[in-house]
Amino acid sequence: MAKQTQRDEYVDILSNVPPKSKKKKKKKMRPRDRVIMTVSILLIIVSVCTVGVIGLLNWRPLIGDDSTLDPNITTPDTIKEKSVNFLLCGIDFEEGTARGHLTDIIMVVNFDVAGNKVNILQIPRDTLVGDDETPTGKINAVYGRSSSYGENGMAGLASVINEMLGITIDHYATVTMTAFRNVVDGLGGVEVDVPQTINLDGVTIQAGKQTLNGKQAEKFVRVRYGGGLYDGSDTTRVKMQRIFLAALAKELTEVSSGELVGLITKVIGDVTTDMSVGEVINFAGVMQKVDLSNMSIAMLPGQADYYQTSSYGSQSVYYLHLNETLQLVNKYFRTYQDPLTPEDLNIIEYSGTKVDYNDDNENDFQEIIDGVKPGEHAESSSPGE
């Protein structure tokens, strides 16, 4: 048989003809070589997986450069070792509806690392910031406002909160209602002591202890109308959210670290944050160990009334009470910094007849779970009252 030339091999390749080859006797691999090869393959697999995990943990699902926080509003580096603040928002956006780009849940969460405490500030969605900030004058429209009013997105909202309250913001996260429902369903539901029967958007939740699924939980944190606890105001929604947050915190303290990581990675696609996945898991794991009695929650002191805007006419808003707000901010969000003075706050204070029923509304999660009404205290109300 004639020897195949290089030209013949090239023609065969073009014609998709497999090259002729000589049969070689297969060399038997020694046990030692087999072990080395096996170990090498395992090392390659581990290396690839490690790179994948590191990539996941370092992933920062940012919206864009417009949501990079201004470094001038963050906590000083020397204080961050003791205390760090997070801006957390629930975005009320449903495709095909009129609702969109409104932050209907706004909270600043302080993690007091040195004191092993968590302090949560609830900011009502109707909090007045003035119609030079948003067309409606309300804080929940800052996130999606036109650039003609100033910076929008989470960076814009963080800056407004910092200017208004003097609270530094170090990180942020937004959660869609899809992610919210998935968290609840991922936990197998959350047990909540429902104050009274709720009917909203075709969903009915009976009064008493109920394990709410994601859809029911969404209605629970959105409801604002009814009797008793419900007075139809924005503060009612805040109270309902407080009840649910306490129940959710209790549920999260009982899950394993592996379950917590699985839950976070499952919903991270519906979360926007400046933190990496690894940072989220780390912070969540540390906060998970904080006792419920060391998790305090309070709403900004103030009251509802009307405000005249230039674009949308009269709007129902939530005015802040200056001195009470100052006291709250200094107590929980300036623990390791110099206290602020009234001149440091930039709020539109209520000038009408003042009521004080929202001024002292602080609770801890344990007393909420024990049956204390949101905004009241254990010594002045009994469980189930």
Nearest to 289 by CA among 333, 252, 241, 264: 252
CA dihedral 274, 276, 278, 283 (to 10 degrees): 0
| 19 within a domain of the structure (yes/no) | no
Kindly report, residue by residue over 250-265, the tens digit of the pLDDT.
998 888 888 887 887 7
Nearest to 252 by CA among 243, 261, 242: 261
34 vs 292, higher pLDDT: 292
d(C-alpha 98, C-alpha 196), whole Å: 29
> Which structural domain, as residue segments, surrounds residue 306?
65-369
Q: Annotate 317-375 with DSSP letters as a single string.
A: EEEEPHHHHHHHHHHHH-TTSPPP-GGG----B--SS---TTTS--EEHHHHHTTPPTT
In three-state secondary structure terms, 311 is coil
Nearest to 305 by CA among 235, 230, 243, 219: 235
d(C-alpha 148, C-alpha 133), whole Å: 9
Q: Is 139 exposed, middle or buried (0-12, 13-18, 19+ CB in 10 A)?
A: buried
Nearest to 101 by CA among 135, 144, 155: 144
| 309 within a domain of the structure (yes/no) | yes
| pLDDT at site 363 | 96
* Of the candidate ranges 158-162, 186-190, 223-227, 354-358, the one whose mean pLDDT is the lowest: 223-227
Kindly report, residue by residue over 80-129, the tens digit of the pLDDT.
889 999 999 988 655 444 445 788 899 999 999 999 999 999 999 999 99
User: Residue 71: which pLDDT band, with cuts at 50, 70 and 90?
Assistant: very high
| 173 within a domain of the structure (yes/no) | yes
Give the list of residues 6+ apart from residue 79 with CB closer than 8 angstroms, or none: 336, 337
| 49 within a domain of the structure (yes/no) | no
Instruction: State residue 121 phi and psi, 5-degree precision.
Output: -110, 120
- Are 136 and 149 in contact by the 8 Å Cβ rule? The answer is no
Identify which of 16-25, 33-42, 161-170, 192-201 has the greatest average pLDDT.
Answer: 161-170
| pLDDT at site 10 | 37
User: Residue 349: which pLDDT band, with cuts at 50, 70 and 90?
Assistant: confident
| pLDDT at site 287 | 83
| 42 within a domain of the structure (yes/no) | no
214 vs 382, higher pLDDT: 214
| 29 within a domain of the structure (yes/no) | no
337 vs 279, higher pLDDT: 337
| Mean per-residue pLDDT, 216-225 | 82
Q: Structure tokens of 99?
A: 């609702």
| 160 within a domain of the structure (yes/no) | yes
CATH classification of the domain holding 97: 3.40.630.190
Q: Structure tokens of 23?
A: 């049969």
| Mean per-residue pLDDT, 173-195 | 90
Q: List alpha helices for 58-152, DSSP H.
A: 77-80
Give the amino acid at 99.
R
d(C-alpha 65, C-alpha 67), whole Å: 5
| pLDDT at site 378 | 72
| 203 within a domain of the structure (yes/no) | yes
Q: State the chain's mean pLDDT as an integer.
A: 81
CB-facing half-sphere around the CA of 51: CA atoms within 13 A: 5
Number of domains in the chain: 1
Report how far apart, in Å, the C-alpha atoms of 188 and of each of 135, 248, 251 are.
41, 11, 10
